[in-house]
């Protein structure tokens, strides 16, 4: 029968890396989100959820939009929709430069990891935050990731893969998640130990998203949204 060692075995971060190998996720939130025009989205893949950085850059031009990152048609449409929503609310958002000079500004929105194909509508809220961040000069909170489809009226619609996306955010060190209010029912699938370490902001419209995505120095928004009731 083996006897216990004379000195206790210490399992620290160094030992874990020696045993398990380097971490699969490198926490680069603070580094990449320190400047305006960047936000973290959440995506679903066949291998599970993953975080997804979205970046935007503006330059003098003729009002053209460039999208890169091996995007599918649905994601391209979602990015265009997000841009048009921001354009239509530029004055209310305090984005005076974008409101006045938008015909003379070209935009490039990039989804890094270009070797990996991406599609789906769930990056809509992320693109909105990236553009508002870029033109307001305010950085998005580095502890926050988001997912959600948007409409032209600014409503936030439910998306799939919530469990996988939340687990990916948790692994990456994210502690706040902005997601559609209509996905609240999916939170019961999240392990309790993970859920207890996260804050969930349940958004019904884009105003909810923007108010949660920025620090307190960003002006709170009160853009009204029409509540449509069916008569059927």
Q: Annotated catalytic sites, by residue?
A: 122, 165
Q: What percent of the chain is modeled with pLDDT above 90?
A: 58
User: Who's near 90: CB < 8 A, 6+ residues apart?
Assistant: 96, 98, 99, 102, 135
- Is it the case that residue 143 has pLDDT exceeding 50? yes
Per-residue pLDDT band for 224 (boundaries 50, 70, 90) equals: low
CATH 3.30.1330.20 fits 30-213, yes or no: no
- pTM for the full model? 0.82
* Helical axes 206-213 vs 124-136, angle rounded to 10°: 50
Least confident span in 22-31, 61-70, 156-165: 22-31
Residue range 198-227: average pLDDT? 81
Please choose, from the candidates 15, 55, 1, 5, the residue with its C-alpha nearest in 3D space to the C-alpha of residue 32.
55
């Amino acid at each position: 029968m083996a006897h216990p060692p004379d000195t206790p075995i210490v399992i620290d971060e160094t030992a874990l890396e020696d045993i398990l190998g380097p971490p699969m996720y490198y926490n680069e939130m603070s580094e990449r989100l320190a400047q305006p025009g960047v936000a973290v989205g959440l995506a679903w893949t066949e291998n599970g959820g993953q975080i997804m950085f979205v970046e935007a850059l503006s330059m003098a031009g003729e009002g053209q939009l460039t999208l890169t990152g091996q995007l599918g048609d649905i994601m391209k449409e979602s990015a265009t929709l997000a841009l048009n929503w921001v354009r239509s609310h530029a004055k209310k958002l305090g984005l005076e430069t974008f409101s006045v000079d938008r015909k003379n500004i070209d935009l490039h929105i990039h989804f890094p990891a270009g070797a990996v194909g991406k599609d789906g509508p769930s990056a809509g809220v992320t693109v909105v935050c990236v553009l508002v961040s870029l033109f307001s000069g305010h950085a998005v909170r580095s502890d926050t990731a988001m997912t959600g489809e948007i409409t032209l009226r600014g409503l936030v619609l439910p998306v799939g893969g919530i469990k996988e996306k939340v687990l990916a955010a948790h692994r990456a060190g994210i502690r706040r998640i902005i997601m559609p209010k209509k996905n609240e029912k999916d939170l019961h699938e999240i392990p309790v130990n993970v859920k207890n370490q996260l804050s969930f902001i349940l958004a019904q419209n884009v105003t909810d998203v923007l108010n949660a995505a920025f620090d307190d120095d960003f002006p709170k928004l009160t853009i009204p949204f029409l509540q449509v009731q069916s008569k059927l």
